[in-house]
C-alpha cells in the first residue's frame, strides 16, 4: 500500500494534525509525518515534493496556518494529490489559511478540507488510496455504515423522547 505524507508547517499545528494521524492509524494506513515550512525551509519543501512519488507516497496532507502556501508549494512539485488542511492558527479565525489553500489558481489544485478539518483530511487521503485497494474501500464502507447506525440510533432516541422536551 502506498503511504500518506502528513506534512505540517509548524509543530504548533500538531494538536490538530494528530486527528488526521489518528484516522490513518484507525484504517491501518502507513504514513510519515514531517514538519516542513514552505517559507522557513523552502529547499526541503521543494525536495520533499519532488521525491514524494518515488518515496512511495500516494497522497500528501499539507497542514498549515496563516498565509498557508505549504499545500500549493508541495503541489507545484508533485503530481500526487495534495489534501490541504487549513489550520485555525491566526487572528483571522483560519479564514486566511482556508483561502490561501482553496483559492489555488487553475492547473495546480489543493483539495482543501474545512478549517481544522483534520479528520476529513485523513478520510480523504484514505479514500484516495482506496481507489486501488479493495480492502481499504471495504473498511471505508464499514466506517460509513457505523456512522449511519449512530445517527439512526440518535434519531430513534429523539423520537422516543420528543414529548418530554
Q: Near ligand RP5 by CB under 6 A, which window of 7-15, 47-55, 115-123, 135-143?
A: 7-15
Kindly state the greatest CA–CA separation across the chain. 63
Least gap, CB of 164 to ligand RP5 (angstroms): 45
Report how far residue 74's alpha carbon sits from residue 104's, in angstroms, rounded to the nearest whole number. Answer: 12
Place of cell 418530554: 164
Which residues, 6 or more positions from 67, have their beta carbon under 8 angstroms from its beta carbon?
96, 100
Among 6, 13, 62, 85, interactor with ligand RP5 by CB under 6 A: 13
Does residue 8 contact residue 121 with C-beta atoms inside 8 Å?
no
Q: According to the binding rule CB under 6 A, does residue 86 interact with ligand RP5?
A: no
Report how far residue 26's alpha carbon sits from residue 109's, in angstroms, rounded to the nearest whole number. Answer: 27
Q: Near ligand RP5 by CB under 6 A, which window of 58-66, 104-112, 114-122, 142-150?
A: 58-66
Q: According to the binding rule CB under 6 A, does residue 116 interact with ligand RP5?
A: no
Among 37, 41, 120, 127, interactor with ligand RP5 by CB under 6 A: 37
Among 73, 87, 124, 128, interactor with ligand RP5 by CB under 6 A: 87
The H or E element spanning position 3 is strand 3-8
Q: According to the binding rule CB under 6 A, does residue 78 interact with ligand RP5?
A: no
Q: According to the binding rule CB under 6 A, does residue 122 interact with ligand RP5?
A: no
Cα end-to-end distance, the chain, whole Å: 50
Among 64, 83, 101, 130, interactor with ligand RP5 by CB under 6 A: 64
Amino acid at each position: 500500500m502506498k503511504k500518506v505524507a502528513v506534512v505540517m508547517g509548524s509543530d504548533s499545528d500538531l494538536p490538530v494534525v494528530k486527528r488526521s494521524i489518528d484516522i490513518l492509524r484507525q484504517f491501518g494506513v502507513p504514513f510519515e509525518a514531517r514538519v516542513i515550512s514552505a517559507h522557513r525551509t523552502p529547499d526541503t519543501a521543494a525536495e520533499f515534493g519532488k521525491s514524494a512519488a518515488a518515496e512511495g507516497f500516494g497522497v500528501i496532507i499539507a497542514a498549515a496556518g496563516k498565509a498557508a502556501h505549504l499545500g500549493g508549494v508541495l503541489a507545484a512539485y508533485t503530481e500526487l494529490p495534495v489534501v490541504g488542511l487549513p489550520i485555525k492558527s491566526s487572528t483571522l479565525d483560519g479564514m486566511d489559511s482556508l483561502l490561501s489553500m482553496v483559492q489555488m489558481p487553475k492547473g495546480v489544485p489543493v483539495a482543501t478540507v474545512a478549517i481544522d478539518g483534520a479528520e476529513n483530511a485523513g478520510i480523504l487521503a484514505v479514500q484516495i488510496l482506496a481507489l486501488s485497494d479493495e480492502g481499504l474501500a471495504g473498511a471505508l464502507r464499514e466506517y460509513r455504515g457505523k456512522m449511519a447506525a449512530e445517527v439512526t440510533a440518535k434519531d430513534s432516541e429523539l423520537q422516543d423522547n420528543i414529548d418530554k422536551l
